[in-house]
Amino acid sequence: MPTAPIPAEVRAHADELRAQLARHDHAYYVLNEPLVPDAEYDRLFRKLAALETHWPALVTPDSPTQRVSGTPAPELAAVAHSVPMLSIRTETDDTAAGALAFDARVRNALNLAADAPPVQYHAELKFDGLAVSLRYEHGRLVCAATRGDGQTGEDVTHNVRTIGQIPLRLRGEGAPPLVEVRGEVYMRHDAFAALNERQEKTGGKLFANPRNAAAGTLRQLDARIAAQRPLAFFAYGLGASQGFAVPDTQDGLLAQFAAWGFPVCSERTVAAGAQALAAFHEHVAAIRADLPFDIDGVVYKVNRLDWQARLGFVSREPRWAVAHKYPPQEAVTEVLDIDVQVGRTGALTPVARLRPVAVGGVTITNATLHNQDEIERKDIRVHDTVVVRRAGDVIPEVVRALPERRPAEAVKFDLLARYPVCPVCGSRVVRNADEAVARCTGGLFCGAQRKQAILHFAGRRAMDIEGLGEKLVEQLVDENIVRSPADLYRLSVAELARCERMGERSASKLLEAIDGSRATTMARFLFALGIRNVGERTAKDLASHLQTVEALMGADEDALQRVPDVGPIVAQSIVDFFAEAHNRDVLAALLDAGIHWPAPPAPVAAKADHPVRGQTFVLTGTLPTLSRDAARERIEAAGGKVAGSVSRKTRYVVAGEAAGSKLEKAQALGIEILDEAALLALLAAHDETENPSSQGV
């Protein structure tokens, strides 16, 4: 490869080729008006690639040759959004009421008189895809991130570069030092159909709908896979910016995006007042089925950006925008049968197996029935004709039965009669009186619950096994290396080192953490078992009151209810857990693996004048220096108790910043309120009572 400086004429030729290819990309992908035949485009692309191969220093991140390059990413890194990507309020009324309500809220917030001119809005489509934020610095794309939780997303730059509609470099002159363009990555109907056809031919996974296909593609680690799946993009919003003369209106902002080379949906309008918004909603409803991509509603935004700033936000939602969604699409079909799925927490969810029917462009064969109570409330039977819809246009559910079309052979469904034992592990299925859900009692043994049980067991507040994360647990369970928490204590370096991103050093470090977890407390161990309704506080009460696992296993419901704050529901959960031989076997294996704890100290009787011992505290809000966990530990170490809710038994409420309803209830009941300083003083008084100073002796 040449090491000499690149001749100026070579660099200029490369720049001109990149500019030509960028123009052709924009015309082809954004305008849908190709300027040259494919062969001519390919010729220009090969010339640029040859130059960059001969002169590697010519390669720039925004070169068309870099749309698919590099090695697969090891993982999707987290990206903190400098300006949060917030959600917007949703109106679901399918009439003009949604638009009227939004307009009334806006006018009221702006203090507009009744006779003031109509507010100008920008009405857009609500695309059914994946929101992303594209960060450009001095005109070049440097980062693309998913919305995530609104504060932090995932870095998908490598995949976004493969989307031909997204410019790697902003068109035109005078690009700002920084600008973030927000928009939606989606997949067209024709592209989705072609993708699924290709997947079927190659034996690959078929995608349920275009949104799932787009989301799955965007989160691929290998950009070469993403490049084979045609994604599309629409720009619609602005994030952070520096040195950018922001237009005065939303409409002007989208015009600027188009000038920079972004695709902007043509189905949009500036609407004056609520009636114009309602007309847009009605117009889009009429053309929705003919659109080449999925939407689930329209979006109304105040057009003036200064008014958007004036209206601001409430509850993390903008006051100046609203999504007006369409009713879920529905269809009629037959329930062929009803069976269940066992979830990660042991919940048995009844599922209707349906005669295949198309709903909203997707073929539906299964739909959730939620629970036995819902089945009875809707009176849904096997062989019934039912109305099915995609809730939120995504999750299929059975809306109602049509009893007038019920055949004589229709059969009622009784979950507990049909499934007295778990279809996964064979453990008993029970339903407590306090909830609608029936659950498998297999707990530590049930294959459906295994991953969740192991993650809970290893959690920081349980056995505290650092380094045992969700992805590793999934691998260990999927490869049948770990079938129960007890198997963790039999792992070897060789077994762990075979897992992804787990070398011998990482494996050895994890085994050290597992070995260190053998020394724990009885309370942590009980909490780690994942007994339903047994939280940290209850586990501590059980350990303090019964003191041995043997005593706990042998206790009946009456004995358990003598433990403070253990009622009939918790007692029943404990008895059900230990009634399963699987759970007792796993518990025995854990103890045989060397899990141990010191004998609990003898209980100390509460003193009448003691400042903390025997008193009930409730924590609310954020304390200045102490975390909630640290405050709880300090109180419990001093012999106090921390409850989750305020009652007449509460002695103190410790209130920090942003304290809510608990503080209000405490004030109403006349309960003493402490801030952090008062709590620390109370704890210090306890220490002095327990350990009187020897000063002055």
Name the residues annotated as catalytic: 126
Classify strands 429-430 and 438-440 as parallel, antiparallel or unpaired: antiparallel
Helix 97-109 and helix 274-287: axis angle, to 10°? 150
Query: In b/e form, how buried is each residue of 232-244, taking b as 16+ CB within 10 angstroms?
Result: bbbbbbbbebeeb
Rounded to whole angstroms, the Cα distance separating 162 from 649 reads 62
Identify residue 493 by its one-letter amino acid code. Answer: V
Q: For the chain, how far is it from start to end, CA to CA, in angstroms? A: 86
CA torsion sign for 35, 41, 47, 53 is positive
Give CA–CA dist 364/394, Å, rounded: 11
Alpha-carbon 36 to chain mean position: 44
Q: Can you say how many angstroms the Cα of residue 65 is from the centroid of all Cα atoms in its chain?
A: 35
The two structure tokens encoding residue 264: 């902007």
Query: What is the Cα–Cα distance from 486 to 478, expressed in whole angstroms?
Result: 16
Joined together, the tokens standing for residue 414 give 């009784």
SS3 of 548, please? Answer: coil
Burial of 604 (0-12, 13-18, 19+ CB in 10 A): exposed
| Stretch (H or E) spanning 637 | helix 628-637
Q: How far is CA 43 from CA 26, 34, 69, 278, in A?
A: 17, 15, 19, 50
Sign of the dihedral through C-alpha 109, 114, 117, 119: positive
Beta strands 295-302; 395-401: pairing state? unpaired
Cα separation, 617 vs 671, whole angstroms: 10
Residues near 201 by Cβ (< 8 Å), separated by ≥ 6? none
For the chain, the C-alpha Rg in angstroms (whole number) is: 31
Q: Residue 192 — φ and ψ, nearest 5°?
A: -65, -45
Q: Is the dihedral of CA 253, 133, 293, 21 positive or negative?
A: positive
How far is CA 576 from its chain centroid? 32
Question: To 10 degrees, the CA torsion angle through 379, 381, 385, 391?
Answer: 70
Residue with the two structure tokens 């407590």: 432
Q: How would you classify the pairing of strands 672-674 and 652-655?
A: parallel
* Alpha-carbon dihedral angle through residues 40, 43, 49, 51, given to the nearest 10 degrees: -110
CA atoms within 13 A on the CB side of 589: 17
Which stretches does DSSP call E strand in 147-292? 152-154, 178-186, 232-242, 269-272
Please tell me the distance from the alpha carbon of residue 582 to that of residue 443, in angstroms, as a whole number. 8
Instruction: Collect contacts of 539-548 with beta carbons under 8 A, ≥24 apart.
Output: 540/636, 541/565, 541/566, 542/566, 542/574, 543/600, 544/600, 544/603, 547/522, 547/599, 547/600, 548/522
CA distance 653 to 672: 6
Query: Which residue matches tokens 């787009």?
Result: 214
Which residues fall within 8 angstroms of residue 449, CB to CB, at 6 or more apart? 342, 343, 344, 345, 346, 440, 442, 443
